[in-house]
Structure 1
Amino acid sequence: MSAPSAMREAVLDLSSGQVLDPLAPPLRAAMRSAAGDGPLPYAPRGGRPELRRAVAALYSGRTGRATGAGQVVVTPGVRAALFTAAAVVARDREVLVPAPHWSHYPRTLDLAGARTVVVPGDPADRWRADVDALEASRTTATSAVLLTSPVNPSGAVLDRERVGAIARWAAEAGITVVVDDVYGAFAGPEDPLAVVGADAVVVGGVSKVHALAGLRVGWVVGPPELAAELDDVAEHVTGPVCTAAQDVAVAALAEPFRSADVTGRVRRSTAALAEATALFQAVPGVEVVPADAGIYLCLDARRLLASRAFGAGDDRALCAALADRTGVRMRAGSTFGMPGHLRLCVAAEPGVLASAAERLRTHLQEIAG
């Protein structure tokens, strides 16, 4: 059997979550300066003071509450920050994780010694977390609830009223709210940090809204009473983060550069999401799941699966078949607790989304009928 014609074309990879914007001149200059000609020593424990102050200033501005640099611990990416947070607030206890969710949450939490309890969302409410579902899953072992907005993969934004209700419920139940803030800037005025409370633990980093995925700089910010424990875990699990990477992160968070850079990226993401929504609505056999913000769009592929398109019986097999037949790579929704769906990243080069939608439309036109 000859190879599908699509495989002779360039593969269109929409499966990743990378934002591959060109490195801005101030960040490139910071990288060159950090490399320099001198030695490259270990960074201070907990992170460089300049970066810790910059992160503290960022969250002070967003929450309206004073955040001290001593509450910030720098980590090699958000995964390490989440591991650190879970090891402190939920070791040997349970973390409620609303589904759909980022694919790495369960394993990261498990390795930190926490027990993951997935809380399925209601499709009629676009799978968004709510108090009733969380309460139904709560036990005496529940220690934390993990929230992120916009949600990866669905793109749903948790409005402040909803987050506030969850925060009040958690406070009454003695549960720590852990916020994955890696996509926070995309939430716009519905920023959850303003309503989660001063006792929340926040993990964030520069990978997404700052388009610095390869830098591997993240952080965990907690209330003062947890600072020493968070620092202890980070120090003994990963140690200090590369000094040069931290210097670039400082430049990324510096004002006015940060505000202009992030505003532009959010604007481009909003436009890309609108473009992708329009394009993929024309693809037969799938339905676009409305997304509020962020860099992801989900396609409901259950109709294709019901018809056994390309012989696929589940979304993983369908992803593999579509990659083979069309050269368009996406992620299976079941990876994120959203079976029967496909996730694609809209942070693509100009023309890629249109080309991907056209390939899918062409190959699915006949079988979707």
Structure 2
Amino acid sequence: MKLSKRVETLTPSTTLAITAKAKELKQQGINVISFGAGEPDYNTPEHIIEVAYQSMKDGQTKYTPAAGLPELRKAICAKLKADNNLQYEVANVCVCSGAKHALYNIFQVICNPGDEVIIPIPFWVSYPEQVKLASAVPVYVEGIESNLFKITAEQLGASITDKTKALILNSPSNPSGTVYSKEELEAIAAVCVEKDILVISDEIYEKLVYDGTEHVSIASLNDEIFKRTLVVNGVSKPYSMTGWRIGYVAGDKEIINAIIDLSSHSTSNPTTMAQWATLEAITGTQEPLNEMVLEFDKRRKAMVDLLNQIDGISCAMPTGAFYAYANVQELLTDDVKTADAWAAKLLEEANVAVIPGSAFGSDIHIRLSYATSMKNIEAGIQRIKEYVEASNK
């Protein structure tokens, strides 16, 4: 059977390949330490679980509007006002089956064949694939490591053509953990307004910031950029609700209405009881989140400090998310030429799983998640150190 051309353009997921190999080794009884997780290692807070359970007991098991529960959309508006100084009406918000689904829907409704979408490198693995699925063209702009992997307004301006439809901005970033400052965002916003392009602002890691870093939504800077920005967020990362699959997008009513129409013909609505759980996550106690951030902060410092003690590895201290993005270029050889090959040998010989940078647009970096125990961090990086020292002999 011949598949559609759109799926033939997709690149297999490096993340899934490494994860599958790690699981295979574990099933063989091998003690694998994995730093691949893109989700918190905490369970969903109990008060959120209880609300979901009670909602089902109360009969909340039927369809909701395609855009989501009115109560939840109203709560999202209140959250965006309180946390981000963004003033939206309920009609400006659509709840989706995860932030990934929100992003997918955005590209489907804004892109035509041949449109260009600017994607900074390093990027989250699904951005290019979702752009291609919308028959648009990814245009890559490299964030320089010395600038903590952030692109500049000058780089952005130079990459815009008459085919450019949008810029994807992910702050805090997966995989680098970098956070754009207000001043950097103001410069980028000025270019987007001048060139009249959309900004898709993926803010899913908004709550996971450290060292007094301030998360600023680019949409909050002025009225002109506000009109051009689609804000994407959700509960997966801050409330450890990755499996609940609830995210949302807020923005221009015309675009939101198109997303609602698309959702009505694809998912019908996000899972009902998960929406009630999300309402509790947003409006209920934030103490579990605060405790998780404190613990992630400790792990972040430990992981980066340990990585930088290994000859040949360098890693900037991330200020957001729960990833360390390490440079392994000095460890590459004629036999092991890329981070992919290096990560494969690390898994095979040291039983440590990391995600190679090709998943994010780089051949010389690896991503490690510190959403795992301190015990795993210390043991896993010790294995990496021993592997590197043995390889250098």
Rounded to whole Å, the distance in 1 between the matches of 2:308 and 2:270 is 43
Letter in 2 for 1:164: E
The alignment's TM-score, normalised by the length of structure 1, stands at: 0.92
| Counterpart among 291, 297, 302 of residue 324 in structure 2 | 297
> In the alignment, which residue of structure 1 is the partner of 2:295?
268
Bigger CA drift: 206-215 or 190-199?
190-199
> In the alignment, which residue of structure 2 is the partner of 1:227?
256
> In the alignment, which residue of structure 1 is the partner of 2:313?
286
> In the alignment, which residue of structure 2 is the partner of 1:324?
348
Rounded to whole Å, the distance in 2 between the matches of 1:52 and 1:184 is 19
The 5 A counterparts of 1:109-148 are 109-148=131-170
Letter in 2 for 1:263: N
Letter in 1 for 2:241: L
| Counterpart among 62, 68, 82 of residue 83 in structure 2 | 62
CA spacing shift, 1:164–1:89, aligned 2, 3 Å: farther
- CA shift for structure 1 position 229: 1.7
The 5 A counterparts of 1:1-369 are 9-36=30-57, 38=59, 40-92=61-113, 93-187=115-209, 188-193=213-218, 194-195=220-221, 197-199=225-227, 200-255=229-284, 257-258=285-286, 260-306=287-333, 308=334, 311-368=335-392
Letter in 1 for 2:70: P
RMSD: 1.9
2:152, 2:188 within 8 Å by CA — same for their partners in 1?
A: yes
1:87, 1:114 within 8 Å by CA — same for their partners in 2?
A: no
Letter in 2 for 1:345: S
1:328, 1:356 within 8 Å by CA — same for their partners in 2?
A: yes
Rounded to whole Å, the distance in 2 between the matches of 1:81 and 1:207 is 13
Rounded to whole Å, the distance in 2 between the matches of 1:123 and 1:38 is 52
Unaligned runs of 5+ in 2: 1-24
Report the count of equivalent residues: 359
Rounded to whole Å, the distance in 1 between the matches of 2:344 and 2:239 is 31
Rounded to whole Å, the distance in 1 between the matches of 2:388 and 2:331 is 9
Once superposed, which parts of structure 1, at least 4 consecutive aligned residues long, lie more than 3 Å away?
none
2:299, 2:374 within 8 Å by CA — same for their partners in 1?
A: no
Unaligned runs of 5+ in 1: none
Secondary structure in structure 2 of the residue aligned to 1:237: coil
> In the alignment, which residue of structure 1 is the partner of 2:4?
none
Letter in 2 for 1:86: F
- CA shift for structure 1 position 127: 2.1
- CA shift for structure 1 position 329: 0.3
Letter in 1 for 2:51: A
Identity, in percent, stands at 26
Rounded to whole Å, the distance in 1 between the matches of 2:265 and 2:137 is 21
1:178, 1:201 within 8 Å by CA — same for their partners in 2?
A: yes
CA spacing shift, 1:288–1:103, aligned 2, 3 Å: same
